[in-house]
Amino acid sequence: MSTSVLNQEIREQPAAITRLIERESAAIARIGAALVARNPAFVAIAARGTSDNAARYAQYVFGAKNRSAVALATPSLYSQYASAPRLDGAAVFGISQSGQSPDIVAVLDAARAQGSYTIAVTNEPASPLAKAADVTIALHAGAERSVAATKTYTLQLTALAMLSAHWRGGGLGAELPALGGALTSVFEVETQIRAAAAVLAKHDHCVVLGRGYNYCTAFEIALKIKELAYVLAEPYSTADFMHGPLALIETGFPVVLVAAGAVLKPELDAFRASLLQRKALLITLGDHHYEALPGEQFIPLRSGLSEWLSPIGAVIPGQLLAYHTALARGVDPDQPRTISKVTLTR
């Protein structure tokens, strides 16, 4: 198992995050100062796949900490329909591991032509995306050899959190510089993760639920479960799920729930009880605010992070859950069928 490239890259994340904070803080501080000076009317973000899930994190962190509305761009309007929405007055981000996607580059080209402030977030500072942008945040991920992105995602989240802190003013604070160290503890719960994976592996579909800051975590865990274990995993906000889609839940229906932070605890605890009452197969990834309920599989999130940073710690056990589910289903997580590393959608 230690020979799996994916497994190695999952475990590299704390060190990669420490490296990002060391190497990129000064550049991110300058971009934060530029955002303060420009005071954009809103933020628009173009991204796909895992990077789009990082954009979902930005919706909450920029929304709550910087009071900025965030629009997820609709790249096809720029690349297919040739009718680009106005982005003047906005700060426009393109997020892409490879920096190669033509449709993401098209959004930044259009935005820059309109005079927007454009920011690339990428692992490849020489990529077309970086060249299209006014400024670039480099993720310093090193080679990501696994086809399924893991460290790219947590580095994207960390970079966005750092930028939010600088944009807000007052620098990184105490928690961000210590992030890499805090994350080492998330690997202590692999026994519980393996037990949950053994159960999940018996199913061909599940839902993955989160809300607020961890809405993105539900999306990213669901994506890893789909692409690694070939289990159809649909992500949902618990608030949206409680309406129509709750009808899906019957005895044994598998639900993965991300629960972090005190704000949502009353609602999420009531929701967990309701899922257990319906005899769902519930796997809860819960932080220090939550306790295991009788009848659920509980995976403790050990990082101890504040809620706004909790998605960085919460996704790693989710990556491991997808990894162990793939192994339990007899799938080689280093050779996922049909997915390619570089996204070239037009």
- Residue 84 or 198: which CB sits closer to a second copy? 84
| 8 contact partners, CB below 8 Å, separation of at least 6 | 2
In whole angstroms, the minimum distance from the beta carbon of 309 to a second copy comes to 14
In whole angstroms, the minimum distance from the beta carbon of 223 to a second copy comes to 6
Question: Smallest Cα–Cα separation from 284: which of 323, 305, 255?
Answer: 255
Eight-class DSSP state of 201:
T
- Residue 69 or 135: which CB sits closer to a second copy? 69
- Residue 86 or 202: which CB sits closer to a second copy? 86
In whole angstroms, the minimum distance from the beta carbon of 71 to a second copy comes to 4
Q: Which whole-number Å values give the CA distances from 69 to 39, 60, 137, 207, 221, in the listed order?
A: 12, 9, 21, 28, 25
Binding residues for a second copy (CB under 8 A): 41-42, 44, 48-50, 52, 59-60, 62-65, 67-77, 80-81, 83-87, 89-90, 103, 148, 204-205, 207, 211-212, 215, 223, 226-227, 230, 232, 234, 239-240, 242-250, 263-264, 267, 278, 336-340, 343, 345-346
CB 60 within 8 A of CB 264: no
- Residue 238 or 303: which CB sits closer to a second copy? 238
In whole angstroms, the minimum distance from the beta carbon of 274 to a second copy comes to 9
- Residue 11 or 48: which CB sits closer to a second copy? 48
- Residue 41 or 292: which CB sits closer to a second copy? 41
Q: Tokens 């955002």 sit at which residue?
A: 35
**Residue 189, phi then psi, degrees to nearest 5:** -110, 25
CA distance linking residue 297 with residue 315, whole number of Å:
17
The secondary element (H helix, E strand) that includes residue 27 is: helix 13-38
CA distance linking residue 279 with residue 39, whole number of Å:
49
CB 213 within 8 A of CB 308: yes
In whole angstroms, the minimum distance from the beta carbon of 64 to a second copy comes to 4
CA distance linking residue 222 with residue 208, whole number of Å:
6
In whole angstroms, the minimum distance from the beta carbon of 228 to a second copy comes to 8
- Residue 73 or 285: which CB sits closer to a second copy? 73
Q: Say how far residue 333 (Cα) sits from the centre of its chain.
A: 19
In whole angstroms, the minimum distance from the beta carbon of 216 to a second copy comes to 11
In whole angstroms, the minimum distance from the beta carbon of 239 to a second copy comes to 4
- Residue 97 or 297: which CB sits closer to a second copy? 97
**Residue 260, phi then psi, degrees to nearest 5:** -145, 145
Rg over CA atoms, the chain: 19
The secondary element (H helix, E strand) that includes residue 79 is: helix 75-79
